[in-house]
């Protein structure tokens, strides 16, 4: 007799076969998508200044992917995740609109007028396009999205529905996501006012510390309810209302949190951090954002356990891009393209790392680069899959995977056909001890230029400003300090040909989604 474990016949039968038999046997899936979460901020990657026990639990009791790639920053990362396509295609394939238009709700524009402006410039999806939420819908799942808007810098309920979300609650405008006390959010297209939150900009503060900024952050006038708290209340209520034991339908829940994206702001410093002598006040506040997300991961876990469905729910934790500095202090920690002495990086030989930037947290886990860079620290992200007693504990995979692989991975898990037109491929079998088909390489865009990494570990990096290609062998060069372009000319030419092809044969435009103004 073949061994069957909750919807999967291991080793001898493809993962999805059994899942197709009975809809109630399909696992629920919760995808937690952190914002700017450098993997070095987590205990499982060595963070010593505070703990992240709930996120670490997913890693140590599930599978951890150490070669997981996101994108350079939020918009292309979300577009890739939801489409299953990498972000180097250029052209109009991933058009996004500029942020900020929803502030006009306070200045006379109606919701219908705002939606019309967005729909005028945002390209509609092709009829045969398949998005992440739709994959789950087609498999009989109830789908929901909570938190930061799921694509681009401004969206509409019509676009959310087209992407496959039965229910959605949160922000529709990226600019407003940079504040944490929104006067309103949206639920299924309806504007939901938040009493006591009165700041049009959601109480956004600056990213540089000063006595004035400190006073602004902690002036709580017009800041009644923190956004993460509102969103979590809605998310947990959705779980209560959609318990598969009552609905007889599994759910796919996507939670793109704002945390720990800056500017730094929390309603209180986390108790664990208040008396830490190694951290400044601002660092304590930033770390409190990470702690809040970790606490909320624990709340989700506890809710699933309370509902009696934890043993049939997959929890995935990852992030959109690499680390960012939201706590720069003169003489201690630098931000942007300079070291702590104020010297500019040339991003050829000198580049961001935790030592030269004075990052006490080592948020990029010892790699070069950070958010928006095409160094590894800008795009390597944490990725953990947890399924109680189904995914092997304390397993670490060195298989290279990307955010755009998630769509077809989900398809295999929920029992729908692979979408061959997508760039991403499923790594579902890897989760359960089998061998998945591996892509030969991953590509991603950045403000610096596109890059390519092979499954073997070769990396081709293009730096647009200097018009140069650099070649690294990551298994022996984690920090990307030994450029092998001159020593390996054949490998350089081989990878350049692939990068040209993947960037529509125009590598200088492989810089991510096209932005349009509304």
Taking every pair of Cα atoms in the chain, the longest distance, rounded to a whole number of angstroms, is 70
State the pLDDT at residue 93. Answer: 57
State the pLDDT at residue 150. Answer: 82
Chain centroid to CA 437: how far?
Answer: 23
375 versus 207: which is more confidently predicted?
A: 375
Q: Give the integer Cα–Cα distance in Å for 244 and 310.
A: 11
Q: Output the 3-class SS for 349-406.
A: CCCCCHHHHCCCCCCCCCCCCCCCCCCHHHHECCEEEECCCCCCCCEEECCCEEHHHH
Average pLDDT, the chain: 91
State the pLDDT at residue 95. Answer: 72
- Determine the average pLDDT of the residues in 90-95: 62
Residue 377 lies in a domain: yes
Q: Give the integer Cα–Cα distance in Å for 42 and 63.
A: 15
Residue 518 lies in a domain: no
Tens digits of residue pLDDT in 38-64: 999 999 999 999 999 999 999 999 999
Q: How confident is the model at residue 152 (pLDDT cuts 50, 70, 90)?
A: confident
- Per DSSP, the residues of 305-347 read HHTT-GGGEEEEEEESS-------BTTTB--TTB-TTSPBP-S
Residue 160 lies in a domain: yes
**By the 8 A CB rule, do 513 and 98 touch?**
no
User: In sequence order, which ranges of 47-131 are alpha helices (DSSP H)?
Assistant: 53-60, 74-83, 111-121
| CATH number of the domain enclosing 369 | 3.40.720.10
**By the 8 A CB rule, do 394 and 13 touch?**
no
- Per DSSP, the residues of 87-111 read TT--TTTT-EE-S-GGGGGGTT--H
Q: Which of 9-18, 347-356, 421-430 has the lowest mean pLDDT?
A: 9-18
Q: Give the integer Cα–Cα distance in Å for 398 and 297.
A: 25
Residue 454 lies in a domain: no
Strand partners, 329: 333
- Determine the average pLDDT of the residues in 303-323: 98
Residue 512 lies in a domain: no
Could you tell me the residue range of the domain that residue 245 belongs to?
27-440
Helix (H, G, I), strand (E, B) or coil at 492: helix
Number of structural domains the chain divides into: 1
**Per-residue pLDDT at 468 exceeds 70:** yes
Q: How far is CA 268 from CA 235, 264, 281, 285, 368, in A?
A: 22, 11, 11, 8, 32
Residue 234 lies in a domain: yes
Residue 489 lies in a domain: no
Task: Please provide the size of the chain in residues.
Answer: 518
The reported pTM is 0.94
Tens digits of residue pLDDT in 338-370: 999 999 999 999 999 999 999 999 999 999 999
State the pLDDT at residue 210. Answer: 87
**Per-residue pLDDT at 94 exceeds 80:** no
Tens digits of residue pLDDT in 470-502: 999 999 999 999 999 999 999 999 999 999 999
Residue 451 lies in a domain: no
**Per-residue pLDDT at 8 exceeds 50:** no
């Amino acid at each position: 007799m073949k061994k069957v474990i909750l919807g999967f016949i291991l080793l001898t039968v493809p993962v999805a076969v059994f899942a197709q038999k009975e809809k109630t046997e399909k696992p629920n899936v919760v995808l937690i998508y952190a914002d700017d979460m450098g993997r070095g901020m987590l205990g499982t990657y060595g963070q010593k200044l505070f703990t992240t026990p709930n996120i670490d639990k997913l890693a140590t009791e599930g599978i951890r992917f150490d070669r997981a790639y996101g994108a350079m920053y939020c918009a292309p990362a979300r577009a890739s995740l939801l489409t299953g396509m990498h972000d180097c295609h250029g052209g109009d394939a991933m058009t996004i609109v500029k942020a900020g238009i929803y502030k006009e709700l306070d200045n006379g524009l109606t919701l219908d007028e705002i939606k019309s402006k967005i729909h005028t410039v945002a390209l509609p999806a092709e009829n045969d396009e398949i998005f992440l939420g739709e994959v789950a819908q087609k498999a009989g799942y109830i789908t929901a999205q909570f938190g930061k808007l799921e694509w681009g810098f401004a969206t509409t309920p019509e676009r959310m529905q087209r992407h496959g979300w039965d229910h959605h609650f949160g922000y529709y405008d990226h600019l407003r996501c940079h504040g944490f006390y929104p006067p309103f959010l949206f639920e299924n297209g309806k504007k939901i006012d938040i009493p006591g939150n009165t700041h049009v900009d959601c109480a956004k503060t600056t990213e540089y510390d000063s006595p004035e900024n400190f006073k602004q952050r902690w002036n709580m006038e017009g800041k009644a309810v923190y956004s993460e708290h509102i969103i979590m209340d809605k998310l947990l209520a959705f779980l209560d209302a959609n318990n598969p034991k009552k609905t007889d339908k599994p759910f796919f829940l996507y939670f793109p949190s704002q945390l720990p994206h800056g500017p730094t702001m929390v309603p209180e410093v986390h108790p664990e951090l208040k008396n830490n002598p190694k951290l400044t006040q601002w660092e304590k506040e930033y770390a409190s954002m990470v702690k809040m997300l970790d606490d909320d991961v624990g709340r989700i876990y506890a809710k699933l356990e309370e509902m009696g469905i934890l043993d049939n729910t997959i929890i995935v934790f990852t992030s959109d891009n690499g680390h960012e500095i939201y706590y720069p202090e003169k003489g201690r920690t630098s931000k942007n393209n300079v070291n702590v002495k104020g010297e500019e990086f040339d991003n050829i030989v000198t580049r961001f790392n935790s030592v030269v930037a004075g990052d006490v947290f080592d948020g990029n886990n010892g790699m070069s680069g950070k958010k928006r860079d095409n160094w590894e620290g800008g795009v390597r992200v944490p990725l953990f899959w947890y399924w109680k007693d189904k995914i092997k504990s304390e397993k670490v995979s060195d298989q290279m995977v990307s955010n755009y692989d998630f769509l077809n991975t989900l398809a295999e898990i929920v029992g729908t056909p692979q979408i061959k037109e997508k760039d991403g491929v499923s790594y579902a079998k890897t989760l359960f001890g089998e061998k998945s088909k591996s892509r030969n390489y991953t590509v991603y865009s950045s403000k610096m230029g596109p890059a390519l990494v092979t499954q073997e570990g070769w990396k081709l990096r293009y730096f647009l400003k200097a018009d140069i290609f650099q070649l690294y062998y990551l298994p022996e060069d984690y920090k990307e300090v030994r450029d092998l372009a001159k020593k390996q000319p054949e490998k350089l030419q081989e990878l350049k040909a692939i990068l040209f092809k993947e960037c529509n044969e125009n590598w200088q435009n492989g810089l991510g989604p096209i932005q349009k103004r509304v």
